Chain A
Amino acid sequence: MSEVMNITVTVNGTQYRRTVEPRLLLSDFLRHDLGLTGTHVGCEHGVCGACTVLLDDVPVRSCLVFAVQANNHTVTTVEALGTPDNLHPIQEAFRESHAVQCGFCTPGILMSLVPFLQENPDPTEQQIREAISGNLCRCTGYQHIVDAVKLAAEKMKASEGVKP
């Protein structure tokens, strides 16, 4: 094992101190060290988008960031969105529009959409397709996901400014 470093990362509002190797990817840190397995790991080279999380409120591929780079930064994962009893409007919209089939890509898509809908509360279909172009889904053919985003935008406008 190579040399290790102590890091402090705030994930979903909780501060975690851990000792990690510099080569540990943020995605593996979240899943293995913190047990937050909502973040999925697909391709590990930045193509599939399943591991998308927010780093200081900006969507990034957590497989393309080292955990040590998140030292003293803030990470938001899909676990922060909602609970089974109290879903985030985006999650509700996904459920209602049947935008989830196997669900593997869903966490990454949700985390790409949270900042997108904050910046674009009234998106066009073109903008939606552009926003999820970095997230591969092999089940749905995307149509129901696009429908869900439109529905989510309506829900979020109705409930004004819901944040994770």
Chain B
Amino acid sequence: MKPAPFKYYAPSTVDEALARLAEHGWDAKVLAGGQSLIPMMNFRLAQPSVLVDLNGVSELFYIRPGKDSGLSIGAMARQRQVELDPLVAQRAPMLHEALPKVAHPQIRSRGTLGGSIAHADPSAELVALSVAQDGRFRLRSKQRGERWVAAADFFLGLFTTVLEPDELLMEIVLPPMPPRSGWSFMEVARRHHDFALVGVAAIATLDQAHDPATAKCEQARLVYFSVGDGPVEALQAEAVLKGQEPTPEAILEAAETAGNLDVDPNSDINASAEYRRHLVKVLGRRALTEAFARARVGK
């Protein structure tokens, strides 16, 4: 239960960190909050020979207003810092509400937004949320400079992303939700803050041509976590709602579709596949109901 030896670098700038990553490639791991990496190292599931610690890279800790009332967050912003930030509460209410569900308070005081996203745990709240909200990530390497990747293209599978070994996740951008949208973020876990058995991020957008009470669904986004190798967007469920009036019957049909067709969950010690499928339907129905209700009142 002790990590294997490694060489430790504590750069104070991004350039220095990128130089270390360029030098060591696959042998190096980036240490952000360390709340997933260090447990894996304690168990020796991960044995990187080099750690590049970003905790001294002060230029990555920011939370800033982004373009069009969106939000730009430095990869090293701590989860607790983001959770308590009034700008986040105002501009990214779903993120504000989702963060308290991410692990225990003592973990969030160390854990970072970028660390959680780069780690790409399929049960991570922030991974699903970034996909549902069409987040974009800024990546940088010493050799190839910067590139932007959409959240939907970033996650490749179990703990796997498009990040190259010499590349750093620099920034997370969350655009504002479309007008007349509502959202909901829900999960079921064994105890508060544990890994979710199933969770969902939902965004519902109503068309603007009609009165809110009779408006049709312009778009519904339903992204699940803890049901597969990565975030799972329930595309068939979303198609059920598109262009329809979001009645309780339509929402129920979409949630059933999500559980029956969109997901293929695994069984593990915490929950059977059938139970997860059941939770997908229940949470889908509740989350869509809440999201559409919020869209109607313009929240």
A interface residues (Cβ-Cβ under 8 A, vs B) = 1-3, 5, 21-23, 25, 28, 44-46, 49, 52, 55, 58-61, 63-66, 68-69, 71, 112, 116, 129-131, 133-134
Which residue in B10, B55, B105, B109 is a CB contact (below 8 Å) of A131? B105
CB of A23 within 8 A of CB of B192, answer no
CB of B110 within 8 A of CB of A64, answer yes
Please, how many angstroms separate the alpha-carbon atoms of A71 and B56 in the complex?
A: 11
Residue B4, interface by CB 8 Å:
yes
11 new A-B contacts at CB < 8 Å, known A49-B104, A68-B8, A131-B105: A3-B7, A22-B5, A44-B1, A44-B39, A64-B110, A65-B110, A69-B55, A130-B192, A133-B105, A133-B193, A134-B103
CB of B39 within 8 A of CB of A64, answer yes
Chain A proximity of B28: nearest CB distance (Å) = 13
20 pairs of residues in contact across A and B, judged by CB atoms under 8 Å: A5-B8, A22-B5, A23-B5, A25-B2, A25-B42, A46-B38, A46-B107, A52-B106, A59-B105, A61-B35, A61-B110, A64-B38, A66-B34, A68-B10, A69-B53, A69-B55, A116-B105, A129-B192, A133-B105, A134-B107
Chain B proximity of A27: nearest CB distance (Å) = 10
CB of B38 within 8 A of CB of A22, answer no
Q: Which residue of B lies closest to A60 (CB)?
A: B110
CB of A134 within 8 A of CB of B8, answer no
Q: Which residue of B lies closest to A53 (CB)?
A: B106
If A112-B106, A130-B192 touch, whether A64 touches B8 (CB-CB below 8 Å) is no
User: B196-222 vs A: 1/0 string, CB under 8 Å?
Assistant: 000000000000000000000000000
